[in-house]
Structure 1
Amino acid sequence: MNKAIISFALSLVIGFGLGYLVFGVIMGDSDKQPQVAQTEPTQETSETEGQKEGAKEETATVDANNILNSKGCLGCHAVDSLGLEGGATGPDLSKAFTDVEGKHGKSIDEFLKEPTSAVMSSVIGGSPLTDEERTQVLDMLKQASEK
């Protein structure tokens, strides 16, 4: 009986310790303000249709950067092709738009709704993306894969 109690207590301590490590240290402290990724400023010139489209893409990228920061994605992932530094725990997301389907058996859009990996299931399940956020992140990941 004593061995069972000791085993239970030890498992409890280890479980809470790992939970603290993953969600407190690796994912970041939720009480802190999210860090916003910096983007390079655009040059001011006369607006043509191409420049307007570029400005829209830049705005979408900035919005997606804010989402990636606020949801904690950049705590584990980087997007090197867009110059977004992040953690090294997860893979670089520069080619995620094209690579996720081959790796996880579903499109990136479906993966962001219902991830097939255990880690991402718990992360996204705890802080799911809205349809609008998912669309912005998908646009940014598509842009990243094209660079």
Structure 2
Amino acid sequence: MKTEVDGVGMALRLGDTKTGKSIRPIGSAALAVLKTASSKSNSKYVFPSITNPKKHHTGLTRWLQGVSSQDVPGITSHGLRHSFSSTAEDLGYSIPTIKGLIGHSKASVTEGYIHKIDSALLAAADKIARHIDEAMTGRKPGKVTHLRRA
């Protein structure tokens, strides 16, 4: 409901979620989008039903596709959560912070939303690949194991 959007406190104060009441911080850019969406409707809901504004939406993905399918084909609420989480991680926020932002109860769930390869893994893969390439091309002396032909 529109009453759950706290523009001054920059938060969503949700009364009914899977885990009960919840307060979720929200950025000013997202608040502006919600304000614009809300101003287009006399409904008490931020996301009213497309077919009946007296009711709330019954599926955010369906609502998202209805309002933005041309701009973002295939958009889903789940995809938005993944993108938000991955972007937060790219910006250097910790797993506990991201977990709090999106309302997960376990860090392991949050980690599943982040699809970024660890920089240590990338560095290791690169070093190993370079070593193998240098040994195979003879650019760097290394221990060569001669294989016998069968």
TM-score, normalised by the number of residues in structure 1 = 0.26
Higher strand share: 2
- Rg larger in structure: 2
TM-score, normalised by the number of residues in structure 2 = 0.25
Higher helix share: 1
